Amino acid sequence: MAAAEKSSVAGVKTDILLESGTNELEIMEFTIAGNIFGINVAKVTEIMKYSKVNPMPNSHPNIEGVFKPRDKIITVIDLPGYMCLPTSDNDERDMFIITNFNKMSAAFHVHTVEGIHRITWTDIEKPDNTIYGGQEGLATGIAKINEKLITIVDFEKIIFDISPLTGIQMEEITALGPRERSSRPIVIAEDSALLKKMILEALGEAGYTNITSFTNGQDAWDHIKELTDKCDSLDALSEQIALVITDIEMPKMDGHRLLKLCREHKILKGMPILVFSSLIDEAMRVKGDQLGATAQLSKPEIGNLVSTIDNFILK
């Protein structure tokens, strides 16, 4: 297990991982109408008792309104309403999970917060697309913890559904001007079906036509390793893989573990590896730098991602 120090998220004890690339994470368990869900603690900044909010006229029906707990106005999302689950029979017990990802903050209204579990990404299984709705589904993974099944929720998709302008915008590609076409091979690891589809469409529009994608870091690593084993140099490998793009949050193996394994390999240590994640903040950037990320870019800034790819592929 990685070295850790004790801290808390609004009174809930947690371990902050100090070592990078260990393939571990902390899941915050919460409930809505008796159903058990989870969120990566890396997305959570605070937990607060539910309080009345100010409604916003003409807003999305799943936006309860806004409140200002201190010096910042935060939008409140009605998570039970969004999931078509019953509302609480006593909102005095309800909670806000305050999040920060994609460079924005939001409060998610839930019924209870049960605690935090330290697990590895190998403990999380990718849900079956047929059962969980594929691209339209909300589950990015299922974790079995203490005989309970916890559904890991795709919070990025919720934000995008409520406010599409927070997602990947094709206009950013158009703004880059005339494009060259490139068949240089790119590998992508991205677990969100919706985001993967949007990224592939954007890169296709940007002229990148040879992309192999995976829904978790383990499958991406297996593919990369298989091709690397057939090559004796990075130049030879670049005909098979010119560049890797990875998310951080993924079942089986996260992006930091994938990055660590690549940098420990004598050939892959020179491979351009771009981290494209909703979790990029100062702390995550330090971890990525320590592991040898070539560049770290925050979702949904697809224009920055394409420009960075250009620097390695089209140079």
The tens digit of pLDDT for each residue in 152-161 reads 999 999 999 9
- pLDDT given at position 289: 96
Query: Would you say 114 and 30 are in contact if contact means Cβ atoms under 8 Å apart?
Result: yes
172 three-state secondary structure: helix
Query: Would you say 36 and 148 are in contact if contact means Cβ atoms under 8 Å apart?
Result: yes
The position carrying tokens 């120090």 is 5
Query: Would you say 47 and 39 are in contact if contact means Cβ atoms under 8 Å apart?
Result: no
Burial of 156 (0-12, 13-18, 19+ CB in 10 A): buried
According to DSSP, residue 197 is labeled H
Average pLDDT over residues 93-114: 94
Strand partners, 153: 139
Least confident piece of the model among 31-45, 60-74, 124-138: 124-138
- pLDDT given at position 91: 77
- Among residues 192, 214, 193, 169, which one has the least CA distance to residue 305? 169
Strand partners, 31: 36, 112
First to last CA, the chain: 41
Q: Is the per-residue pLDDT at 261 higher than 70?
A: yes
Mean pLDDT of the chain: 89
Pair of tokens at residue 169: 């915008």
- pLDDT given at position 132: 52
Better pLDDT: 84 or 3:
84
Round to whole Å and give the CA distance between 42 and 45.
Answer: 8
Pair of tokens at residue 98: 């305050």
User: What sign does the CA torsion over 277, 179, 309, 214 have?
Assistant: positive
Round to whole Å and give the CA distance between 278 and 272.
Answer: 20
Query: Would you say 189 and 227 are in contact if contact means Cβ atoms under 8 Å apart?
Result: no
- pLDDT given at position 69: 87
Strands of the sheet containing 148-153, edge to edge, are: 112-120, 24-32, 35-40, 148-153, 139-145, 124-125
Please name each of the domains of the chain with its CATH number. Answer: 4-164 (2.40.50.180), 167-313 (3.40.50.2300)
Average pLDDT over residues 5-22: 54
Split at pLDDT 50, 70, 90, the class of 194 is confident
Model-level pTM?
0.87
What stretches of the chain show up as alpha helix (H) in DSSP? 79-82, 129-132, 155-162, 171-174, 193-205, 217-228, 234-237, 255-263, 282-291, 302-313
273 three-state secondary structure: strand
Strands of the sheet containing 74-78, edge to edge, are: 44-49, 95-101, 104-110, 74-78, 63-67
Split at pLDDT 50, 70, 90, the class of 143 is very high
Average pLDDT over residues 27-34: 96
Beta-carbon contacts of 216 under 8 Å, excluding residues fewer than 6 positions away, are 121, 126, 189, 191, 250, 251, 252, 253
Least confident piece of the model among 5-19, 162-176, 188-202, 252-266: 5-19
- Among residues 109, 103, 129, which one has the least CA distance to residue 37? 109
- Among residues 77, 80, 98, 81, which one has the least CA distance to residue 35? 80
165, 283, 22, 258 alpha-carbon torsion, rounded to 10°: 50
